[in-house]
Amino acid sequence: MFYDVVIIGAGISGTMCAYKLSKYKLKIAVVEAGIDVAAGSTRANSAIIHAGYDAKEGTLKAKLNVKGCEMMQELTETLGVHYKNCGSLVVGFDDYDREQIEILKKRGEINGVKGLRILDKRELHKMEPNVSPSAVCALFAPSAGIVCPYDLAFALSENSVTNGAKFYFNFKVSSIEKTDNGYAVSDGNETVTGKYVISAAGLYCDEIAKMVGDPLPFDIIPRRGEYMLLDKAEGKTTQRTLFVTPNEKGKGILVTPTADGNIIVGPNANVVDEKSDTSVTIEGLEEISEGARRLVPNINLDAMITSFAGVRSTPSTRDFYIQESEKCKNFIHVAGIESPGLASSPAIGDYVVDILKKSGLKLEEKTDYIPTRSKEGNFKLFYDMTDKERKIAIEKNPLYAKVVCRCENITEGDVVNAIHRPIPAYTSDMVKRRTRSGMGRCQGGFCNTKVAEIIARELGIPVDQVQKFGKNSNILCGKTK
Ligand SMILES: Cc1cc2nc3c(=O)[nH]c(=O)nc-3n(C[C@H](O)[C@H](O)[C@H](O)COP(=O)(O)OP(=O)(O)OC[C@H]3O[C@@H](n4cnc5c(N)ncnc54)[C@H](O)[C@@H]3O)c2cc1C
């Protein structure tokens, strides 16, 4: 198959490009090194839809952030993704912070952010009573929000597959050759050919760029951010995302609700030697605990149910780099997509489509385009259904009456559905990210083996062959009796 467009990387940038392009009569392929969508930075981040006052005026990042934030509500509604327009607060503690907050407000207004307002101490504490009593003011950004980042990437991919795109997983691009009519992209075993190539490989965009002989004109610096996730019982700690004023490393340690009702604390921002280093350290947890207590002194960090880390692909220029290669026609770099790459993603997708159009790609809209994740619509989990919807779901499929994950109220119907969706789940982590089974207080202690049994039954494989995340991560190793 010769594709019109080959996209490298199934993070939020690559899947958004696939989603935007699948509206048109085009053959699209996405090649991804991991076994699933959202294997890189898109999997582990703060999940904030930033309003757009952080990025320097006039940068591409500023432009795409504000636009992307404005587009997020409609996009997530169309695709059935958890999103909440909760607003954000940059909390100030002294005169220096107040000056910084005024600078951010001015910058935000130049960038086009709507509704920015500086709150005094009284108004701030009325809005968020748990914020530190020593806080004196805050910048309120009503347009900011929170989203589930990997579910957004799943939704974009599922919609793309439903509309004809093809995803190749376990496909780590190791060479790219120019051909007479485009490019041959290979992982050493298999080759995918296409007229246009979009490099959306996150931290590895520099390596991909070298493969076509067009090295990026900047460095990608891997900066790890560590997090603590608190139990849903702490979900009312804050209703809005709480930031401190930014520093040279970035936006600082924040406290925020998540789109699924937990509280998240973090991230720090430390340069790491290995791009794949997502380890969590004692020092890191101490650093983020201290940062969180500064914002919310009575935060209950004992309610931590898990910790994790993600790695940013920080460009040394501190701006997004999205353009057609000057050396290689029809090769598009989508590089340096550090924060707010998630918030900007809908606008990044449009920006890339525009580049392709200017470069000569014919964009003819499909008449049979399906706007949802599957022909039947979006996938609603049992816990998101109304009582009436639950009744109908159970009548149609009694597996919806069997709760598998008691912490998150996930049913066997949800798990089976995840295993058969357009991008199928076949490990317990894949099921977890699609359904939230194992994401609650017990972190899979009770439901993981049940999920393994369901995967084995649905795929017709022995249960001891079911894996947690691929790479021989078998959940069970043998019989005890
Ligand atoms: C700690 C942290 C906090 C953040 N907080 C926020 C936030 O609150 N709001 C926000 O807007 N943004 C935030 N971001 C930034 C956001 O997560 C990123 O901008 C975004 O996820 C980048 O998406 P991407 O698709 O460009 O890259 P990625 O998600 O990294 O995707 C790249 C994909 O390419 C694949 N790949 C790599 N090499 C190859 C290869 N050779 N062959 C095939 N595939 C390959 C990878 O496996 C990966 O799946 C944060 C990031 C981090 C790390």
- Domains of the chain (ranges; CATH) run 2-42+150-219+318-358 (3.50.50.60), 83-146+221-313 (3.30.9.10), 382-465 (1.10.10)
Tens of pLDDT along the chain (481 residues)?
899 999 999 999 999 999 999 999 999 999 999 999 999 999 999 999 999 999 999 999 999 999 999 999 999 999 999 999 999 999 999 999 999 999 999 999 999 999 999 999 999 999 999 999 999 999 999 999 999 999 999 999 999 999 999 999 999 999 999 999 999 999 999 999 999 999 999 999 999 999 999 999 999 999 999 999 999 999 999 999 999 999 877 889 999 999 999 999 999 999 999 999 999 999 999 999 999 999 999 999 999 999 999 999 999 999 999 999 999 999 999 999 999 999 999 999 999 999 999 999 999 999 999 999 999 999 999 999 999 999 999 999 999 999 999 999 999 999 999 999 999 999 999 999 999 999 999 999 999 999 999 999 999 999 999 999 998 999 988 778 7
Q: Which of 50, 82, 125, 333 is catalytic?
A: 50
Q: Are 343 and 49 in contact (CB under 8 A)?
A: yes
Res 471: pLDDT: 85
245 lines ligand 1 (CB under 6 A): no
Q: Are 310 and 340 in contact (CB under 8 A)?
A: no
Res 191: pLDDT: 98
13 lines ligand 1 (CB under 6 A): yes
Distance 247 CA to ligand 1 centre (A): 22
Report the DSSP beta bridge partners of residue 331.
197
202 lines ligand 1 (CB under 6 A): yes
250 lines ligand 1 (CB under 6 A): no
For ligand 1, mutation pick of 342, 348, 433, 469 (most atoms within 8 Å of CB): 342
38: exposed, middle or buried (Cβ count in 10 Å: 0-12, 13-18, 19+): buried
For ligand 1, mutation pick of 32, 37, 41 (most atoms within 8 Å of CB): 41
Distance 253 CA to ligand 1 centre (A): 19
14 lines ligand 1 (CB under 6 A): yes
Catalytic, 82? Answer no
Distance 58 CA to ligand 1 centre (A): 23
419 lines ligand 1 (CB under 6 A): no
Quote the Cα angle for 415-420-423, to 5°.
Answer: 110
Distance 147 CA to ligand 1 centre (A): 15
Distance 312 CA to ligand 1 centre (A): 7
